[in-house]
């Protein structure tokens, strides 16, 4: 792992579905699932899903900016979510499944703002982009059984990704790639 690694934090609905696309990128050194953005210390999954903590399910990665740019991370993020949905993501509804970009410095904030502007101008969405850009807060690790869920429970994960509507949405808006 490079000494020059940085953090990136994204909320894209269910964190199980967010890890895989990022771990395929050369330069992403590690990814964890967790909770951030809220007011409760050390929340549990059950507490976060109750929509009383202010937290969202999120992923946080350590990446090497010499190998993968923050812009590439943003592009990957946008291709995993419905950025026009305020109420959650796909079949997962509620505050804990809302999307957000959590920036760790001013450069990330500016790049995130530019990426939203680009997405609004160049599509593919006709509805307004509602994904907020927020300053990074304390990130709490999710319970161990949520870490690398897509690897530990491949069959259930594939059923979930398809059944939730995420897989079909991604294909509809971004194609097979």
Express each pLDDT in 76-135 by its tens digit.
Answer: 999 999 999 999 999 999 999 999 999 999 999 999 999 999 999 998 999 999 999 999
Q: Which domains does the chain have, with CATH numbers?
A: 6-169 (3.30.1060.10)
Q: Which helix (H) or strand (E) holds 99?
A: strand 99-103
> Which tokens sit at 70?
């923050």
Residue 13: phi and psi, rounded to 5, are 85, -145
Task: Tell me the angle at which helices 16-23 and 154-163 cross, rounded to the nearest 10 degrees.
Answer: 110
Residue pair 75/120 in contact by the 8 Å Cβ criterion: no
Answer yes or no: is pLDDT of 158 > 70: yes
The pLDDT of 57-78, averaged and rounded, is 98
Neighbours of 37 (CB within 10 A): 25
Between CA 149 and CA 136 the distance in angstroms is 24
State the residue for tokens 């007011």.
39
Answer yes or no: is pLDDT of 176 > 80: no
Answer yes or no: is pLDDT of 154 > 70: yes
State the residue for tokens 């959650």.
88
Please tell me the pTM assigned to this model.
0.94
Between CA 141 and CA 109 the distance in angstroms is 23
Distances in Å between the alpha carbon of 105 and those of 9, 79, 89, 144?
A: 11, 23, 26, 28
User: What pLDDT is attached to residue 175?
Assistant: 85
User: What pLDDT is attached to residue 177?
Assistant: 57
Angle at 19 between CA 17 and CA 24, to 5 degrees: 120
What is the 8-class DSSP label of residue 6? E
* Helix, strand, coil abundance in the chain, percent, nearest 5: 40, 20, 40
Residues that are catalytic: 14
């Amino acid at each position: 792992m490079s000494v020059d690694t940085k953090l990136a934090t994204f909320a894209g609905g269910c964190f199980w579905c967010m890890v895989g696309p990022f771990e395929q990128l050369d330069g992403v050194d590690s990814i964890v699932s967790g909770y951030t953005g809220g007011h409760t210390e050390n929340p549990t999954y059950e507490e976060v899903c109750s929509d009383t903590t202010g937290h969202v399910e999120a992923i946080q990665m350590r990446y090497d900016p010499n190998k993968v740019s923050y812009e590439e991370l943003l592009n990957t993020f946008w291709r995993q979510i419905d950025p026009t949905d305020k109420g959650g993501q796909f079949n997962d509804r509620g505050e804990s499944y809302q999307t957000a970009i959590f920036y760790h410095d001013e450069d990330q904030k500016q790049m995130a703002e530019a990426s939203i502007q680009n997405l609004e101008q160049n599509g593919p969405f006709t509805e307004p982009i509602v994904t907020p850009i927020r300053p990074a807060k304390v990130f709490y690790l999710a319970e161990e059984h949520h870490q690398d869920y897509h690897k530990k429970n491949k069959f259930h994960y594939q059923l979930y990704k398809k059944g939730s509507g995420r897989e079909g949405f991604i294909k509809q808006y971004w194609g097979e790639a």
